Amino acid sequence: RTLDLRNGCLRRRSRLRTPQGATLQIDSERLVSLDADVLGIRFSVTSIDYSGTLTLASTIRTGQRPARQGDDPRIGVVGSHRLDTLAVAADANVASLAQRTRQSGIALCCAQAHRLDGGPLVFLDAESEDHRAVQRFRAELQPGQSAALEKFVAYASSGEGVTDALAPVVDAIALAVQTANDGYAALAATQAATLDAFWRDADIDVVGDARTQLSLRFNLFHLMQSASRHARSGTAAKGLTGEGYEGHCFWDTEVFVLPVMLYTAPEIARAMLGYRYRTLDAARANAREMNHPRGALYPWRTIAGAECSAHYPSGSAAYHINADIAYAIGLYLDATGDTGFLLEGGAEMLFETARIWPQAGHFDPLRDGAFGIHDVTGPDEYTALVDNNFYTNRMAQRHLLRAVAAWESLSASHPQELRALAERLSLAQDEIDLWRRAAEAMQLPVDARLDILAQDDTFLHKPRWDLTDHNHDRPLLLDFHPLTLYRHQVCKQADVVMALALAGDGFDAGLKRRSYDYYEAITTHDSTLSPAIHGIVASELDLHEKALHYFTEALRVDLDDLHGNTDHGVHMAAMAGSWLGVAWGFAGLRVIDGELAFTPTLPPGWNGYRFGVHWRGRRLRVDVARDGVRYRLSG
């Protein structure tokens, strides 16, 4: 079995021995198109020493049950029993099966068509029933003879509550038939061209470590194929690779996946932000449900925009999602200079989400008017409902300043458009002034006794969890009640360290190092988001052995199934974290005051590395070697 990363297809070869002792060789190649809602399979069977009839059944089947998820309460799944069959049909030319979701009323259809190669294989018959549509083909084989066909499967869906539920059937059949007429070679050529353009800019090389280089390319391929290319849907935490988390999107998308796409395929990053804009009204509704009379609050876990988490301490209380999305918007604006995006939704998202912070906190008179944010949950899900979570406050500060800067920029460049937006949002200058004052007065706690950044107001006052005998193969949350975890100093994942990775400028190196050492000692890394971030900050602190260790853990989490759950789907954030580990970590890439900066280092055992980034319409290749660093600008 071979995954061709350059051409975007999977090839398999197997040999089948029948009970009678005859041998058949099966060769298949398949791809899921990156340019259309279609997949193709080229399938052939060769007789080694078999004489007789061969029958191939090409089937669309529903009613599959999800993969077993074990005892992990974070991952609940439902199967296609939540779908009702609308129509099913099969004949000599095409087969199709249409269903509708029970809750949202979305109709969807899968259709298949085939192309024969003129060999011995011919159509035999077709049948359909409620959960299955099948087309059969037959051939008479002699030793050395092959039978081959190409199969094409197309998908189409409707919006919510559509009146013509069978419209997707027409669309799916038309796409399947057209793709079959064009043939597999044409589909494969388009796929190869798409990936050639991607790899030309995004390829990454590691000199002297072929295993790491291949692993990075494998992760990049998964990111590229799973990231949403349009605003209709988000990028799920498991990508397109498994049923874990039921296809839900988290903040992983904006903090981990989007930066990688931004630097390698910026048009995909823009589409990812477009999804968040499409769900802005749902975020407004979520804010009202959380008793905020204005503004928008993005959910922690979602598909269509509504909050899908039933556990509010680690879900709804994660207000940092607003700041994470604002961070991604700011990163996109810095890297592309796409001011048109501000007018097309970026500014509206920044403004509506910024409005939440003054409603979630206040200027504390007992702290000389410092602005504090209350009863929220940061990235560390082993600590919940706290005041002044450092990550949340730091990212909110950056969010508010970014919103102020967007207001001032549009005031100067597009005053008429800004005026229309402000009127629509009932937004005035006094609210912008409030955002600036909140940002400037933001509470960013430092513990005077330990001289480190405090994760929140009470975290450092709790007893430390003894991790001496901790089984790193099993998350603490599977064995301990959340309240038990909340009462201790123990981190599931990077929290303060995450803030240092994303917004660590302005803090002196000693404070960063002390904070890093303290929180590393009490972090279990039960989340796959964590190692990459610890590796990035370790690089900045010249902890090169640790940086390489954490980078490798993020790099190989799925290839080596380090958490024992890759069958639920790959970990998109960790895959993205491995690329960020090279760019943000080893190469020290940072965006400071809107400008690109590097502080490259060479990891132990590496002879060099090369990678590319898109920056303001140009392509930059960074080549780090033992004898120096070369930057090459093109495009």
Q: Which residues are part of the catalytic machinery?
A: 381
Angle in degrees, CA 350, 356, 359, rounded to 5: 155
Rounded CA-CA distance 101/59 in Å is 21
Torsion angle of the four alpha carbons 522, 524, 528, 534, in this order, in degrees rounded to the nearest 10: 30
Burial class (CB in 10 A: 0-12, 13-18, 19+), 88: buried
Residues 6+ positions from 593 with CB-CB distance below 8 Å = none
Q: In DSSP terms, which residues pair with 136 in a beta bridge?
A: 57, 125
Backbone torsions φ then ψ of 194, nearest 5 degrees: -60, -45
CB count in 10 Å sphere of residue 81:
12
CA 493, 495, 496, 501 dihedral sign is positive
DSSP 568-600: G---HHHHHHHHHIIIIIIS--EEETTEEE---
AA letter at 407: W
Q: CA–CA separation, 460 vs 94, rounded Å?
A: 65
CA distance 248 to 253: 10
CA distances 423 to 326, 348, 417, 419, Å, are: 22, 12, 10, 6
Q: For 564, what's the count of Cα atoms within 13 Å in the CB-facing half-sphere? A: 10
CB 106 within 8 A of CB 158: yes
Spatial separation of the C-alpha atoms in residues 223 and 69, rounded to whole Å: 23
CA distances from 1 to 13, 27, 557, 570 (A): 7, 10, 21, 18
Cross-strand partners of 155: 110
**Residue 17, strand partner residues:** 23
